[in-house]
Amino acid sequence: MRTALWVILLAAMLATRRQAAAASRTCLWQAAQQLRGGASTTATESQAQQQGQATQRRRPLRQRSLTRSFSSGPATNATTIGVAFDIDGVIKQGKKTCAEALWALQELDKRGVPYVFLTNGGGGRTEEEYALELTKKLQGPLEPCGCSGHKREVLPGAPAPEISTSQMVLAYSKFPELEELKDHPVLVVGEPLDKVRHVAKAMGFEKAVHLMDYLARHPEMDPFGTDKRKGPQDPKDWETFAGVLVVADPGDQFWPALQLVTDVLLSPNPQAAELAPEQVPIYFSNNDLLWKEAFAHSRFGQGAYVATLRLLYEKRLAALGLSEEEIAARTSGRWNIYGKPEVPQQMLAEKRLMITAAAKGDAVPAHFYMVGDNPRSDMQGAFNARGAGRPWDGVLVRTGVYQDGDDTAHASVVVDSVAEAVEWILEHGINEGHIPAEKS
């Protein structure tokens, strides 16, 4: 008996080695639980017991078709659900597009359930450009991402979804609402340079000056700089900035982004004065400390830049003689964080879900689900929205940032992949009355 047990465990280890290191640990833990007779306890329940969280007990997900339980397609004057998906660590891992994602989206399309993509990324793409790129990625090639592998068949004859512009909610999708800045020079930060420069103009900031273009005009501002290229010749009177837009992660520009943005926050025209009486506003597209790319472990995101900039800026103000009270008054209302987990970003996703439902003729969403891999942004966003009276549930997947044992940030459930997430959402939707059951 003991020998057989070890053989089974060894087989599980060999099978899961093909997955990312984090997913491998999860799969092996689940296999051991089943061998010990713990198959009736879900991973979420075990985690709740370990962390002392009051997570509601839920039935294990079943690998089955859902066609008998739910009515297919929209119904007149009916309500349904809406689903928001994170992208990195959910739909894709680095350059790999998840096979489970195609099944999940086809399943929602078949049932008339609208969905959008709510990401703290964007990489300088417009919503239209990202929609086209994601559509192509979903056409293949595809690879399994979840620890249990892709066990569901893609619907025969069903095409890959064609993603529309309205389905893309990017980290900076709310920036165009900053109408008061559009007629003034603004300093923009982020890589890739050409894309960020382009998307700033596309969002209506005609007088946007990229950080590296400003540095090319004033190379003496960064004594350690090695980038000697010449940027576009912006009008010389674009020297006084009305604000700063951090569109994307600064990447290789991290150091000059710290120095030059600090200079502009101290004075809207650093060439004229070192310290002005007031600070111009700064807008960050997200505050993600970590995100998941191709490497097995999480990488620093824009949140690392936010934290570093704030620390250095306040130390610089202190060195200039400002008291703690003066520093707090200067920065109050001037540091603005967009993206997840902020409630306005979740509300923008709700609005886009309504638009998507109307465009497709789907039923009106009355309850919303956030599917993500990052507890601090995805799950916290759903929880924050729920705290503001919005009808959201968070579904956490193990294919990205989250590791078993981490704080789930009040996720309603933890599952292996986006496919299991959609199965749970559909089951939960009918159990809670958010989706009409098929009449017998």
Q: Edge-to-edge strand order for the sheet containing 186-189?
A: 208-210, 186-189, 244-246, 282-284, 335-337
Domain-by-domain residue ranges, the chain?
81-171+346-430, 175-337
d(CA 37, CA 421): 24
Backbone torsion region of residue 339, taken as left when φ is above 0, otherwise alpha when ψ lies between -120 and 50, otherwise beta: left
- The CATH label, of 3.40.30.10, 3.30.390.10, 3.40.50.261, 3.40.50.1000, for the domain at 175-337 is 3.40.50.1000
What does the pLDDT read at residue 17? 41
Residue that wins the pLDDT comparison between 366 and 21: 366
Give the model confidence (pLDDT) of 141-181 as tens digits: 999 997 655 455 555 556 789 999 999 999 999 999 999 99
Confidence of residue 96 (pLDDT cuts 50, 70, 90): very high
Q: How far is CA 390 from CA 16, 120, 393, 435, in A?
A: 39, 20, 10, 18
Among 25-39, 190-204, 243-257, 374-388, the minimum mean pLDDT is found in 25-39
- C-beta of residue 123 within 8 angstroms of C-beta of residue 171: no
- C-beta of residue 376 within 8 angstroms of C-beta of residue 288: yes
d(CA 242, CA 215): 17
What does the pLDDT read at residue 238? 87
State yes or no: pLDDT of 128 exceeds 60: yes
Give the model confidence (pLDDT) of 207-216 as tens digits: 999 999 999 9
Give the model confidence (pLDDT) of 249-293 as tens digits: 999 999 999 999 999 999 999 999 999 999 999 999 999 998 877
Give the residue among 312, 306, 311 at the shortest CA–CA distance from 342. 306
Among 39-48, 228-237, 428-437, the minimum mean pLDDT is found in 39-48
Do 81-171+346-430 and 175-337 share a fold?
Answer: yes
The first and second tokens of residue 37, run together, are: 């007779």
Q: How far is CA 178 from CA 36, 125, 174, 181, 348, in A?
A: 57, 18, 8, 6, 15
Among 51-65, 113-127, 323-337, 357-371, the minimum mean pLDDT is found in 51-65
Q: Which residues contact 144 (CB under 8 A, 6 or more apart)?
A: 98, 99, 100, 150
* Pairing outcome for strands 96-98 and 92-93: antiparallel
3-state helix, strand, coil in the chain (%, to 5): 40, 15, 45
- pLDDT, averaged across the chain: 83
Among 111-120, 124-133, 145-154, the minimum mean pLDDT is found in 145-154
What does the pLDDT read at residue 234? 62
What does the pLDDT read at residue 436? 77
What does the pLDDT read at residue 434? 87
Fold classification of 81-171+346-430 is Rossmann fold (3.40.50)
What does the pLDDT read at residue 364? 87
The first and second tokens of residue 211, run together, are: 């950080």
Confidence of residue 20 (pLDDT cuts 50, 70, 90): very low
What does the pLDDT read at residue 362? 79
What does the pLDDT read at residue 317? 98
State yes or no: pLDDT of 25 exceeds 90: no
Q: How far is CA 160 from the centre of its chain?
A: 22
The pLDDT of 90-105, averaged and rounded, is 94
The pLDDT of 184-192, averaged and rounded, is 96
What does the pLDDT read at residue 230? 55
Among 203-207, 226-230, 252-256, the minimum mean pLDDT is found in 226-230
| Helix, coil or strand: residue 107 | helix
The β-bridge partners of 283 are 245, 336
Confidence of residue 233 (pLDDT cuts 50, 70, 90): low
Q: How far is CA 249 from the centre of its chain?
A: 13
What does the pLDDT read at residue 155? 55
State yes or no: pLDDT of 62 exceeds 60: no
Dihedral sign, Cα of residue 125, residue 131, residue 134, residue 139: negative
State yes or no: pLDDT of 370 exceeds 90: yes
What does the pLDDT read at residue 291? 82
Among 17-21, 242-246, 249-253, the minimum mean pLDDT is found in 17-21
What does the pLDDT read at residue 42? 40
